[in-house]
Amino acid sequence: MRYFIQLSYNGTSYHGWQRQPNAVTVQQTIEEALSTILRTPTTIMGAGRTDTGVHAYMMYAHVDIVHTDENGNENATSTSSTYHFAKAELTKLTYKLNNLLPSDIAILKIIPAIPEAHARFDATYRSYIYKINTVKNPFTQERAFYYKIPLDLQRMQEAAAILLTYSDFECFSKSKTDVNTYLCDIKEAKWSLIDNEYHFTITANRFLRNMVRAIVGTLIEIGQGKKPVSWMHEVIKGKNRSLAGASAPAHGLYLTDIGYPKHIFID
């Protein structure tokens, strides 16, 4: 039966989310823990992929689990799409996973879902936060981008608002990426100052590879005074990655939320 796993992780020690042949990733680490507990090779499908060093306050993945009896035989009822683990069993599985996983990955909960539910394709929106530290802080050096040069928050705010007036963001896509479309529906893009950190919050139905970090790098150039606010129009209309700013470092980026239609979950 299909389940959604809600989790969070500190991406510092991982080469991103997606399993790779010669690197430790978040997906691989969770799959190995699940396979150990369930005593069968188990794979999961994430809602997307984050790059090396990127963090997630909230991430989802789906997994198919075959229900077995105490002897390890598949239950006859497991062929029914309505059969799922009881809440207590899911709580126990969550507990076991967290005990087995390293401290930088946390399983928040496991949710029963309809058989056709898909963690990636059923997502209706995704939200990210990028953190820029304005003062040197040894406790956040791997969790926020320390930027020494003063930034004009108002200019960056005005430039961020321009993003909402466009839908084609080829200019912020990683080069040589195999995608069918560069269209994204950005619902929110704004800056805020929290303590000594600038936080850039962005929400869209989908994101291109490296898109958020490329946007932040472009906004930094505007906030630094190197480029005018109107430059954002030129970059987007140019549809060329080389016209935009350099990508901001990965360690300041966090996936914060993913939305799904309620009907795919089973109460």
Q: How far is CA 98 from CA 16, 72, 246, in A?
A: 20, 23, 37
Rounded-to-integer distance, Cα 110 and Cα 207, Å: 25
51 in active site: yes
252 within 8 A of 129, measured Cβ to Cβ: no
Closest alpha carbon to 60 in 115, 117, 15, 14: 117
Q: Are 236 and 162 in contact (CB under 8 A)?
A: yes
The 3-class SS string of 113-151 reads: ECCCCCCCCCCCEEEEEEEEECCCCCCCCCCCEECCCCC
257 alpha carbon, distance to own chain's centre? 8
User: Tokens at residue 255, please?
Assistant: 């996936």
**Catalytic pick among 51, 69, 185, 267:** 51
Residues with a catalytic annotation lie at 51
